[in-house]
Amino acid sequence: MKKKKQTARILSRREFMKLSAAAAAGVAVMPGLAYSNVAFPAPMKRRFGRTGFDVTTFGLGGQASIQWTPDDVDPVAIILKAFELRVNYFDTSNVYGPSQANFGKAFKKRNLIPGRSGYDEKLRSSIFLTTKTMIRWAKGGFPQMDDVRNATNGDPAEGAVGDVKRALTLMFGDGEGGYPDGAYLDMVMIHNLTSFEEVDVVYQGLEGDLDTNGNFGALVALRDFRDGTNITGLNPRNEKLIRHIGFSGHHSAPAMMEMIQRDKYGLLDGMLVSINVNDRKYLNMQHNVIPVAKAKDIGVVGMKVFADGAMYDKEPRWSRTPEDVVRRVGSDHLPSKPLIEHALTTPGVDTLIVGIGHIDDDPLKCQLIQNFYASQIDPDALTEQERRELERLGDRSHDGQTNYFQLADQGLTPPRNLRLERGNDNRITLAWDTAYAGSEPIAGYEVLRNGLLMATVSHQPQTSLEEPFQCTLDDPSGSFTVRALDAAGNKKESGVLEA
């Protein structure tokens, strides 16, 4: 029997009035069943990779009015309303201005501060709280701090470890450096990776020798605070402040792929990645880094579903002020609901963080309610044809050129780093690293000798640089090439190697 497809709904005014009456009676409700028995299901959840946690399909982002707060908006009320809807994934960052402090105010109201009277440990364990650092080095105060981007709203001289403790003091502590025993972060992500050079930095100390007297990358230090060890010398109290480690990126799918492929240590449990209807117009995430993350069972969080407001009222650039915050639910020419549906039906996406500019007593004007209910959708609710139809909506904003944060499309690339080895048995082994996909997924590779097809190799996400694609041939000599093929029949051929 064919499974009935579940799609998202926007609440009507009449439905919301019934919901409000039930809520006033102390019943937590959601639309979907008859209102007479108010036995409504909980928010939809999905497995969040290997973390062992099931996340709600809607996650509250820590930007929009939680970061750039208009004078007439209470950012704490936005967070509290998300709790009322039983959202369980929350995202913020050390570069989001007052965002972490606003979460801290909300957490105090919800009794989420360990050690305080009334601490609700059950509620704390039911949510997944992620913060992020843009500091690539573990320590501050070294000349190489200037080599790659190192940004924080705190003191960059404290390094990435300082950002972890800053997040704890702002959200659970006194805001001045202190935080209570028992406070923890479900995940810390290395934020906004853009280049291979940054990946090199964050892995220093994991790859090669660790010089505890010098500086080293953020990953090895975050591991100490995850495991309660002091290998780096930065965790003398053997604190366990982090449950999971992850990373995020808006810009370069290739750099993000390498971040995953170099993780021989099982450190990365989560990834935050930009995804929206215009993704395939750029060097896309959906056919490149997301499949690699899922192949390693890494939880995937989508972001930038509205391109940081560029789908609506804002020109394609980063937001900087309260005036940049979108405060309405979509527009007549581009509703928010299909944009959310597209992101959450992108294969591999587990949850979607959305920044909220405005909440309202009228559910039809309330961004949080509308975007939350639009997120109640199964991962396979849309066919590929329906997803392509939604992608055409992207042309309604800036002719589809909204994703200023993403690398330009370069189409299907040839296989990379082709190399050739001759074995003792005189057989030839060709090895190569994955091609990058254009607008269509990669289907496989063809191996040619002197221009003649000798073998085909199917494509699978390459999860390790130490495990390249390979093909062994009996032919002892000749000119060898490998070409990549995508699902649309496009082909890109490597250079020639002579044997």
Helices (H), 133-288: 159-171, 196-202, 218-227, 253-261
Distances (CA, A) of 25 to 38, 360, 470, 496: 11, 20, 64, 73
pLDDT, tens digit, 9 for 90 and up, residues 188-226: 999 999 999 999 999 999 998 999 999 999 999 999 999
Domain boundary assignment for the chain: 41-400, 416-498
**Angstrom distance (rounded) from CA 451 to CA 442:** 21
Distances (CA, A) of 294 to 260, 287, 342, 350: 10, 11, 18, 10
CATH 2.60.40.10 at 416-498, yes or no: yes
CATH 3.20.20.100 at 41-400, yes or no: yes
Per-residue pLDDT at 4: 39
Per-residue pLDDT at 41: 56
**What single-letter amino acid sits at 55?**
V
Distances (CA, A) of 216 to 178, 205, 208, 309: 25, 5, 11, 36
pLDDT, tens digit, 9 for 90 and up, residues 390-438: 999 999 999 999 999 999 999 999 999 999 998 888 899 999 999 999 9
Per-residue pLDDT at 2: 39
**C-alpha neighbours within 13 Å on the C-beta side of residue 13:** 5
Per-residue pLDDT at 146: 59
The answer to whether residues 274 and 403 touch, using CB atoms and an 8 Å cutoff, is yes
Instruction: Determine whether 490 is exposed, middle or buried from the number of CB atoms within 10 Å of its CB (0-12, 13-18, 19+).
Output: middle
Per-residue pLDDT at 148: 60
Per-residue pLDDT at 425: 85
Per-residue pLDDT at 484: 98
Helices (H), 348-402: 367-374, 384-391
**Angstrom distance (rounded) from CA 311 to CA 326:** 10
Q: Is the sign of the CA dihedral 125, 131, 137, 141 positive or negative?
A: negative
The answer to whether residues 85 and 368 touch, using CB atoms and an 8 Å cutoff, is yes
**Angstrom distance (rounded) from CA 187 to CA 48:** 12
Distances (CA, A) of 301 to 57, 180, 252, 360: 9, 29, 16, 26
**Reduced to 3 states, what is the DSSP secondary structure of residue 457?**
strand
Per-residue pLDDT at 18: 46
* This model's pTM is above 0.85: yes
**Angstrom distance (rounded) from CA 492 to CA 346:** 26
- The interaxial angle of helices 159-171 and 218-227, nearest 10 deg, is 50
Phi, then psi, of 462 in degrees rounded to 5: -85, 115
Question: What residues in the chain have per-residue pLDDT under 50?
Answer: 1-40
